[in-house]
């Protein structure tokens, strides 16, 4: 992780603008509370919850080789996908000033890995190709954007020494890439952790990663097996820095190739054209009946797009603000300056659990506690994303602890939290929250079990009903919405004046 010492309120971050943005967001969330589908039901969850708790405390796995294999394949997918996506993203970042590239990357980013997986499954079956592409494609979009932002933060001076005729690629090769190398590497490392999560989650749609077994165990109520899988995943994430050594990476890549699951019995490669030309268009459009096609689009708008859009935006807004609250409440417990060198470990562990437990699992537990409504969804999203941002914020705090701004008479405890750490972290925190906005939007697909009809819910239904025309339209609209939110959050970030080097490179 890079030090964030460049980021200081004194660099022009006006407290007034920051407060304005915050008030706007909180006001939006309060308004959303009125319209959102949030309700409490009286429930009787203790029998089920105690079984879950017992499972977590007494994890058990009958079949150790399968567990190891699942861990290996989770790592293999993540490693190979990042190894391919990072250079591709870097290449795209060098031409990021070109609008079509920016739009393409935004479109790639805006579709959830799970939906990419379902799309590629139509083309490549259940195969390693599907799994790799499902991570690789959206990650390339993210890498391109973040790398381009890192380049923007670099001093333009060295680039001026390159002859104007040399062209963009050379300018990047000789100046911008070397200048920003530490930031690029650090972001790629962080992104690898995200890829591990994505890889695990892809098991939910059938790839043989940890999520495959986790979903089964959880669904069947075999909580001690689910517990074992969750612990294995936590351990994997927590230990990244011990095993991901730069020198070992080529070795790991070879091992990953060898570990990828073998594709069984797939022989239809000529399916792509049918998918693009026929499957994803409604029957009326294919037949050229424009009146009927219009009816179809109107039906989709009235029954799924509009209601889904409203619910998605309302819940996202509440989840976003609540994530901020979670960050403010948890990060001090994981920071060395506030919690101390020893006591921060329980805090760090909490954040590890929050950011590594799939939202689906969190949402299920809250569903048992509070009954079906938007509440479990909002809590699950807020805890997961809040945990992730708090982890990054705590890391920033640690990185800066002995930096140039440290003074021997800095206060301690609550005073330090209120007057030093939080104000210094706040612009970065806000920027990270805005970055997560689009992620929260994408992740609203988990809400089917809660009976909340978000856009993700309808996309999932369309795939289940083998109605790719609907899925395509819904995904296209979600992608547009994501692009909008993305540009809005970029503006808000500028408002918050947090567009400084370093912290931008820590986005998920």
Partner 1 sequence: MSFLRRFLALALLLPALARADTFVFTAIPDEDESRLQQRFGKVADYLSDRLGVEVQYIPVKSYAAAITAFRNNQVQLAWFGGLSGVQARRLVPGSEALAQGYEDQFFKTYFIAHASAGVEPADQLSDSLRGKTFTFGSKGSTSGRLMPEFHLREQFGEAPQKIFSRVGFSGDHSRTIAQVQSGAYQIGAVNYSVWESELAQGKIDPDKVRVIWTTPSYPDYQWTIRGDVDGRFGDGFKERVRRAMLELNDPELLASFPRQRFVPASNSDYAPIEATAKAIGLLDD
Residues at the site binding partner 1, with contacts judged by CB under 8 A: 41-45, 47-49, 63, 80, 118, 121-129, 132-133, 203-206, 208, 212, 215-217, 219-222, 225, 257-258, 260, 262-269, 271, 283, 364, 367-368, 371-373, 448-451, 460-461, 463-467
Nearest to 37 by CA among 314, 231, 293: 314
With beta carbons less than 8 A apart as the criterion, state whether 404 and 477 touch. no
Of 26 and 449, nearer to partner 1 (C-beta) is: 449
Q: Give dist(CA 335, CA 323) in Å, integer.
A: 18
**260 DSSP assignment:** S
Minimum distance, C-beta of residue 448 to partner 1, in the bound complex (Å): 5
Minimum distance, C-beta of residue 128 to partner 1, in the bound complex (Å): 5
Minimum distance, C-beta of residue 375 to partner 1, in the bound complex (Å): 12
Minimum distance, C-beta of residue 373 to partner 1, in the bound complex (Å): 7
Of 211 and 427, nearer to partner 1 (C-beta) is: 211
Backbone dihedral region of 265: left (phi > 0), alpha (psi from -120 to 50 degrees) or beta?
Answer: left
Q: Give dist(CA 227, CA 208) in Å, integer.
A: 18
Of 77 and 417, nearer to partner 1 (C-beta) is: 77
Minimum distance, C-beta of residue 458 to partner 1, in the bound complex (Å): 11
Helical (H) or strand (E) element with 453: none
Of 117 and 324, nearer to partner 1 (C-beta) is: 117
Of 24 and 466, nearer to partner 1 (C-beta) is: 466
Minimum distance, C-beta of residue 346 to partner 1, in the bound complex (Å): 29
Nearest to 376 by CA among 22, 150, 31, 43: 43
Of 388 and 450, nearer to partner 1 (C-beta) is: 450
Minimum distance, C-beta of residue 191 to partner 1, in the bound complex (Å): 19
- How many C-beta atoms lie closer than 10 Å to residue 457's C-beta? 23
Q: How far is CA 329 from CA 90, 334, 399, 412, in A?
A: 36, 10, 20, 17
Minimum distance, C-beta of residue 200 to partner 1, in the bound complex (Å): 14
Nearest to 86 by CA among 197, 194, 184: 184
Of 121 and 177, nearer to partner 1 (C-beta) is: 121
Cα(first)–Cα(last) distance of the chain, in Å? 14
Nearest to 452 by CA among 356, 355, 367: 367
Minimum distance, C-beta of residue 466 to partner 1, in the bound complex (Å): 5
Minimum distance, C-beta of residue 299 to partner 1, in the bound complex (Å): 11
Q: Give dist(CA 351, CA 353) in Å, integer.
A: 5
Of 190 and 457, nearer to partner 1 (C-beta) is: 457
For 345-374, the three-class secondary structure string (H helix, E strand, C coil) is HHHHHHHHHHHHCCHHHHHHHHHHHHCCCH
Positive or negative, the CA dihedral 418, 423, 428, 431 is positive
Of 38 and 351, nearer to partner 1 (C-beta) is: 38
For 79-147, the three-class secondary structure string (H helix, E strand, C coil) is HHHHHHHHHHHHHHHCCCCCHHHHHHHHHHHCCCHHHHHHHHHHHHCCCHHHHHHHHHHHHHHHHHHHH
Of 123 and 476, nearer to partner 1 (C-beta) is: 123
Of 115 and 426, nearer to partner 1 (C-beta) is: 115
Rounded (5°) CA angle 484-187-151: 70
Minimum distance, C-beta of residue 391 to partner 1, in the bound complex (Å): 29
**7 DSSP assignment:** -
Residue appearing with tokens 């940890």: 210
């Amino acid at each position: 992780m890079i030090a964030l010492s460049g980021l200081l309120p004194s660099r022009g971050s006006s407290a007034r603008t920051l407060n304005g943005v915050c008030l706007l967001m909180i006001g939006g969330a309060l308004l959303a509370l009125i319209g959102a589908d949030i309700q409490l039901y009286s429930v009787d969850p203790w029998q089920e919850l105690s079984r879950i708790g017992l499972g977590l405390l007494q994890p058990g796995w009958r079949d150790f080789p399968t567990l190891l294999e699942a861990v290996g394949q989770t790592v293999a997918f993540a490693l190979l996908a990042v190894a391919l996506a990072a250079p591709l993203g870097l290449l795209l970042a060098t031409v990021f000033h070109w609008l079509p590239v920016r739009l393409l990357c935004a479109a790639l980013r805006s579709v959830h890995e799970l939906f990419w997986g379902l799309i590629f499954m139509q083309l490549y079956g259940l195969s390693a190709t599907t799994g790799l592409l499902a991570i690789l494609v959206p990650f390339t979009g993210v890498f391109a954007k973040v790398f381009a932002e890192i380049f923007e933060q670099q001093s333009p001076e060295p680039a001026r020494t390159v002859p104007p005729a040399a062209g963009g690629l050379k300018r990047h090769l000789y100046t911008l890439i070397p200048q920003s190398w530490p930031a690029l590497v650090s972001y790629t490392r962080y992104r690898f952790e995200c890829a591990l999560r994505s890889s695990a989650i892809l098991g939910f749609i059938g790839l043989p990663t940890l999520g495959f077994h986790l979903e089964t165990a959880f669904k069947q109520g075999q909580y001690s097996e689910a517990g074992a899988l969750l612990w294995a995943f936590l351990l994997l994430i927590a230990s990244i820095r011990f095993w991901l050594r730069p020198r070992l990476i080529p070795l790991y890549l070879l091992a990953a190739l060898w570990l990828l699951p073998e594709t069984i019995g797939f022989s239809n490669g000529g399916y792509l054209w049918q998918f693009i030309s026929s499957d994803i268009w409604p029957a009326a459009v294919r037949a050229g009946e424009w009146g009927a096609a219009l009816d179809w689009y109107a039906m989709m708008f009235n029954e799924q797009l509009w209601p889904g859009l409203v619910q998605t935006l309302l819940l996202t807004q509440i989840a976003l603000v609540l994530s901020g609250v979670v960050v403010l409440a948890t990060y001090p417990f994981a920071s060395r300056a506030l919690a101390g060198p020893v006591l921060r470990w329980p805090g760090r562990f909490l954040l590890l659990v929050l950011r590594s437990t799939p939202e689906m699992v969190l949402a299920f537990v809250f569903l048992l506690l509070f009954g079906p409504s938007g509440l479990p969804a909002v809590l699950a999203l807020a805890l997961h994303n809040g945990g992730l941002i708090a982890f990054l914020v705590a890391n920033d705090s640690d990185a800066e602890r002995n930096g140039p701004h440290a003074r021997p008479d800095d206060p301690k405890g609550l005073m330090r939290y209120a007057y030093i750490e939080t104000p210094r972290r706040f612009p970065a925190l806000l920027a990270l929250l805005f970055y997560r906005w689009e992620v929260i939007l994408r992740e609203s697909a988990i809400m089917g079990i809660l009976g909340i009809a978000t856009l993700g819910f309808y996309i999932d239904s369309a795939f289940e009903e083998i109605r790719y025309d609907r899925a395509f339209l819904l995904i296209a609209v979600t992608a547009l919405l994501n692009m909008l939110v993305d540009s809005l959050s970029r503006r808000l970030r500028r408002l918050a004046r947090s567009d400084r080097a370093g912290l931008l490179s820590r986005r998920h």
